[in-house]
Amino acid sequence: MTTIGILGGGQLGYMLALAGYPLGLHFRFLDPSPEAPVGRIANRVTADFQDQQALEKFSHGLEVATYEFENVPVAAAKFLAERVPVYPPAIALEEAQDRLREKRLFRKLGIATTEFAPVLEQSEFDDAVKRVGLPAMLKTCRMGYDGKGQWLLRTDEDVDKARPELPDVPMILEKFVPFARELSVLGVRGRDGESVFYPLIENHHRGGILRLSLAPAPRLTAKLQQMAEEAAQKVLEELGYVGVLCIEFFEGNGQLLANEMAPRVHNSGHWSIEGAVTSQFENHLRAILGMPLGATTAVGVSAMINLIGEVPESAEVLNISNAHLHLYGKEPRTGRKLGHVTLRADQTETLHRRLSELPAFFHRPDYCLEKALPEMLAKRA
């Protein structure tokens, strides 16, 4: 029996398990919350990530361990790694958990980023503003996700207002990027070092939360894809990475600036369940088990819409041809990712029509369709 241990029990773990069952795999999860959605479908241990006794017991009989949550304490990953193989390596968690380390790693590898300056102490703030210039984004180095822990500073007044309110934690000040769009790439590296890449994905955020992904990204050029793959390859090699890695970029003037990375399967890759020959979830499992990686080719074109805070009537979605509904079994709460819908089509024009014809539920500004649809059919720049 091959059992995979997963730290974190949210929807990413849920979909990893769903991808692994047809391969005959078994799963054991560890999550601090007794409500973690994987409890519905797999063996779940409810314990704190710091609980070494629980981690010890959790590790027994595992073939390999991985994580689906990037803020798993590095110490927990290292503790497990002394007992069973853990992929991706703990160093990837360490780099990705700190925005400053992450950006410095990109720079070291020759991957372009926006200008940035550390604000490790409040006293460094004014100097950082002078160096980076305005407008700028101030972000906490750690524990920020989905737009949390971020401040946009447009004017000197914003700077004056922020100064007395700065939290007493390490921060990074980044030059604001007037990007044309946001893209992400998913790379997968196997235990033997073989790497494969999915086509670039176009992402639309609102309130810092991913709402809509289009894959492959409309107007994708071979050059853009190559730039993204080269960047991801460098990170994969540098970290001796195994598994799926996501890098998010800003695109402008035909250039890519790396913003951040996630050492795990990623929300912008959910379309791959129906929209690629092999899903990101299956490929992550294949990679960490040392199995051959699957083809990452897109099957037609896909749009993935996150269901945040509330879900439509299932029948409304299932009524749409080639729509796929995924509900994670979580209690509805404002801002919470409860599920997603993937729409697939053979061609962009058909996908565009299907998206335009979605029920009213999806046409509220939150879903970003009003912005994305007109751009989708625009000609290549």
Residues lying near ligand AMP in the complex (CB under 6 A) are found at 114, 137, 144, 147, 174, 176-177, 182, 205, 208, 248, 259-260
* Minimum distance of ligand AMP from residue 132's CB (angstroms): 10
* Minimum distance of ligand AMP from residue 10's CB (angstroms): 17
For ligand AMP, the closer CB: 47 or 159: 159
* Minimum distance of ligand AMP from residue 115's CB (angstroms): 9
* Minimum distance of ligand AMP from residue 303's CB (angstroms): 18
For ligand AMP, the closer CB: 211 or 340: 211
What pairs with residue 343 in β-bridges?
A: 303, 323
* Minimum distance of ligand AMP from residue 118's CB (angstroms): 15
Pairing of strands 26-31, 43-46: parallel
Taken in order 7, 182, 209, 342, the sign of the CA dihedral is negative
* Rounded Cα gap, residues 306 and 341, in angstroms: 7
* Minimum distance of ligand AMP from residue 248's CB (angstroms): 6
* Minimum distance of ligand AMP from residue 309's CB (angstroms): 18
For ligand AMP, the closer CB: 59 or 113: 113
For ligand AMP, the closer CB: 181 or 354: 181
- Cis before 88? omega within 30: yes
* Rounded Cα gap, residues 243 and 189, in angstroms: 5
* Minimum distance of ligand AMP from residue 250's CB (angstroms): 7
Q: Which residue is nearest to ligand AMP (CB)?
A: 177
Is residue 348 within 8 A of residue 376, CB to CB? The reply is yes
- Per-position DSSP letters for 268-283, written without gaps between them: GGTTHHHHBSS-HHHH
For ligand AMP, the closer CB: 140 or 225: 140
* Minimum distance of ligand AMP from residue 143's CB (angstroms): 11
* Minimum distance of ligand AMP from residue 174's CB (angstroms): 4
Alpha-helical segments (H) within 71-182: 74-81, 90-96, 99-108, 125-132, 156-162
**Total Cβ atoms within 10 A of residue 232:** 27
* Rounded Cα gap, residues 178 and 168, in angstroms: 29
For ligand AMP, the closer CB: 92 or 183: 183
For ligand AMP, the closer CB: 175 or 344: 175
Nearest residue to 66 (alpha-carbon basis) of 261, 262, 288: 288
CA 356 from centroid of its chain's CA atoms: 26
- Give me Rg for the CA atoms of the chain: 21
Nearest residue to 274 (alpha-carbon basis) of 367, 341, 217, 201: 341
Residue with tokens 């980044």: 174
For ligand AMP, the closer CB: 177 or 196: 177
For ligand AMP, the closer CB: 97 or 278: 97
> What's at 43, amino acid-wise?
N
Residues contacting residue 123 through CB under 8 Å, at least 6 positions apart? none
Cα angle 338-342-346, degrees, rounded to a multiple of 5: 175
* Rounded Cα gap, residues 30 and 51, in angstroms: 10
Q: Which two tokens stand for residue 328?
A: 């994670």
For ligand AMP, the closer CB: 6 or 215: 215
Is residue 373 within 8 A of residue 365, CB to CB? The reply is no
